[in-house]
Amino acid sequence: MTGLTSSGIGSGIDIDGLVRQLVAAERAPQAQRLQRAGSRVTTQLSALGTLRGALSTLQGSVSGLKTASTFQGRRADASDKSIFTASATTSAATGSYSVEVRQLASAQKLATAPYPAGATAVIGTGTLTMTAGGKVINVTIGESANTLAGIRDAINAAPDNDKVQATLITAVDGARLVLTSRQSGIANSIQVTAAGGDGGLAALAYQPGVTTNLTQIAPAQDAEVQIEGFTVRSPTNTVANAMDGVTLNLLQAKPGTTYQLAVGTDESQTRERIRKFVTDLNTALGALAKLRSYDPDTKAAGPLLGDSLLRGIEESIRRQLQAPSPSANPPYDTLNSVGIRIGADGTYSIDETRLTAALTADFDGVGRLFGGTDGVATRVWDVLERALRADGQVAARTTSLQATQRTLARDTEALDVRMQSVERRYREQFIAMDKLLAGLQSTSSYLAQNLSRANPG
């Protein structure tokens, strides 16, 4: 600031220090009020971030439990897993089924006669037309690609060829070009015709019943399995549509031997999901409890103690946890009925004996208790969604606090400007006073000198 900044010339007063003290004294009450308000807003914003994190974690946990099928797991076990394995979804009917694997699916393989000259043996030019899986693939063979190796490369490089793989196998009697269907099953059988060029490509023709210049070294074959005495065929060794909700993975053919497939409820998986739900629930509720906590010994309070938003969300969650699920079958229509109880400290625990009894008595019903349209997980998720969505409760409170934060920042800036004006006023007043004192001192000295001359003795 401009003006006098040293001690007063006329008064000897430390004007600069005095002005600073007066401005500080006038600024302090308002600055402290703004600082307290700002700290309170910052603390609440941080607490809302913690609240959002806790609620988001819980929402993530229950989001996968909103459908009954999540809990209604099935497992499928083969009596001999070296023959086949199986998996099951919730739509699978429980029970025991007989399975006989008569043959496995295989991909067709065709081979040329041996060429003693090896990969460089010249075959011919023209156009090879291969048909497999209902697709026609035309491969042009020119002079630069008329050898076994060149034909192999041309077939594999054909842009529309996703059906046939060409390979060279070199043995003691020469090199052979082997064509292998990329997919197993009868529908993916290979046929080869040749046209144009010098006619040499006719050595690769293969049309069963017409021309078979290639040798079949592995047939195109569908898998064949009997389930409960009924024949099922599949182009692959994965049989997915024979039984509702069950997929068989065939590993070995054993015609004439029957094995058992047992489809049952997967209680262990369901039990683990319930345990995780309770663990995540306690973690989230613990975080909320910390935000509203109060220690009477230290007088320390949580940042959201008494906050209506936190109280409303927590009460809504607990209300949904305690309410029965209408679509579940009594008596297993509440958490307490399946052994999930709330303790005196507000946390939940599992009575494993009661949970086992409920799963044994009504496995699917326990799934509906959690994941039905009115299940516990579904209702809790809805509460969390209302709180966390972009226009939800937490976002609205956050927006309000951020607006307050901006207002406090503007008020602080306004206080700084006002105090600068106050400082200028004080400084101007003290400078004027100092000038007045300087004038008075000058007048006093003048009068004293004149009086001393008038009265010399």
Structural domain includes residue 57: yes
251 and 338 belong to one structural domain: no
Please state the domain count of the chain: 3
From 371, 375, 374, 379, select the one nearest 71 (Cα to Cα).
371
What was the pLDDT predicted at 170?
96
Structural domain includes residue 44: yes
Spell out the residues 6+ positions from residue 20 whose beta carbon is closer than 8 angstroms to its own: none
Token pair, residue 249, equals 């993975």
Whole-number Å distance between alpha carbons of 122 and 147: 4
What was the pLDDT predicted at 11?
59
Whether the pLDDT of residue 3 is over 50: the answer is no
380 and 365 belong to one structural domain: yes
* Tens of pLDDT, residues 331-373: 999 999 999 999 999 999 999 999 999 999 998 889 889 988 8
* Tens of pLDDT, residues 251-297: 999 999 999 999 998 888 888 888 988 998 999 999 999 999 999 99
- pLDDT, average across residues 84-96: 92
24 and 82 belong to one structural domain: no
Structural domain includes residue 438: no
Structural domain includes residue 452: no
Average pLDDT, rounded, for the chain = 91
Structural domain includes residue 348: yes
> Is-contact 146 127, C-beta < 8 A?
no
> Is-contact 120 147, C-beta < 8 A?
yes
Range of the domain at 180: 109-218
Amino acid at 267: E
143 and 89 belong to one structural domain: no
Amino acid at 103: Q
Residue 76: strand, helix, or coil: strand
89 and 60 belong to one structural domain: no
From 200, 69, 57, select the one nearest 123 (Cα to Cα).
200
Whole-number Å distance between alpha carbons of 169 and 217: 13
Alpha-carbon distance values, 222 to 85, 180, 245 (Å): 18, 15, 22
CB-CB neighbours of 2 under 10 Å: 6
